[in-house]
Structure 1
Amino acid sequence: MDQTKAPPPLTGVTPYLSIASRGGMAAVDFYARAFGAVEVRRMVAEDGERLVHSHLQINGGSVMLSDEFPEMGGEVDVVPASVTIHLQVDDADEWWNRAVVAGAVPIFPLSDQFWGDRYGQVKDPFGHTWSIGSPIKA
């Protein structure tokens, strides 16, 4: 992580993940192993233990995350639900295998789908669901 470089300008929609149980720093490490994330910026709380903010680049897009901060009015240890973060990649099998080796759990098997993608879903160790897809290779 290079603190001297300004983060790239944001456009579009950027997911911002809340990580339970002070797992933010571990989540950054997981996303680097599983999805090749590059951390653009990190801000740590004065106690040195909580992640206030991290900006990641994954496959050309931004994802942001932080630990939960109940003192700011947020809920604590909420299990993520109803959201799937999609990765459209060049090789779904490669990305899938890397994620599973890093600790993601398959919840929808990776397979060829009727819409023309090889597609599947995994749950990361922090409860977030990720879908991985790429065009079916001819």
Structure 2
Amino acid sequence: MTNIPPGYSSVFPYFFASNAEDFCAFLVTGLGGEEIGRTMAGSRIANARVRLGTTTVMVSEATNDWPAMPASYYIYVADADTAQQRALAAGATEIMPVADQPYGDRQGGVRDAWGNLWWISQHLGEGYD
């Protein structure tokens, strides 16, 4: 497929978040992301790009026309236990402790302060392979 910027995929999450500045900080501090770009509209984030592993996500400040809308995300990490503790230290709330799952992932779950659910998973190699 052509016309896709380097580091992006044909479909990627786009967050509208109240207090997008702090949400971007959570993506970096809590989930190990790297902010790779930001466009401002006055004092608000019009568009920030954060790389989480092999995926780039986009974040904008929520407005009346574009309200905040939480969702659920499945994120693969190298170490689910460490990643879950990092997210909790950054303010997330645990919704499921990390444990081995029958489908081959070691997984836990957290809810961030914006209402998003994050299924933090480490693939162990058995199950779906």
TM-score, normalized by length of structure 1? 0.79
Matched, 1:38 2:34: yes
Q: Cα deviations across residues 91-121 of structure 1 (Å, max 9, x unaligned)?
A: 1111111111111111122111111211111
Q: Name which of 66, 70, 77 aligns with 1:74.
A: 66
Distance 1:9 1:97, change over 3 A: closer
* Conserved 8 A contact 2:76-2:120: yes
Contact 2:40 2:46 in 1 (8 A): yes
Deviation at 1:32, TM superposition (A): 0.8
C-alpha displacement of 1:84: 1.4
Match for 1:105: what amino acid? T
Matched, 1:84 2:72: yes
The whole-number CA distance in structure 1 between the counterparts of 2:104 and 2:31 is: 22
State whether structure 2 residue 31 is matched by structure 1 residue 54.
Answer: no
TM-score relative to the length of structure 2: 0.84
Contact 2:9-2:55 at 8 Å conserved across structures:
no
Match of 1:98 among 54, 66, 86: 86
Runs of 4+ in 1 over 4 A off after TM superposition: none
Between the two proteins, what is the percent identity of the paired residues? 31
**Letter paired with 1:97:** Q
Q: Which residue is equivalent to 1:25?
A: 21
Structure 2 gap ranges (5+): none
Q: Tell whether 2:112 aligns with 1:124.
A: yes
How many pairs are equivalent?
122
Quote the Cα distance in structure 2 between the aligned partners of 1:26 and 1:14: 20
Distance verdict in 2 for CA 1:79–1:55, change over 3 Å? closer
Distance in 1, matches of 2:66 and 2:20, equals 15
SS at match of 2:82: helix
**Cα deviation, residue 42, structure 1:** 0.6
Alignment RMSD: 2.0
- How far has the Cα of 1:62 moved from its partner? 0.7
In structure 2, C-alpha distance between the alignment counterparts of 1:60 and 1:134, rounded to whole Å: 14
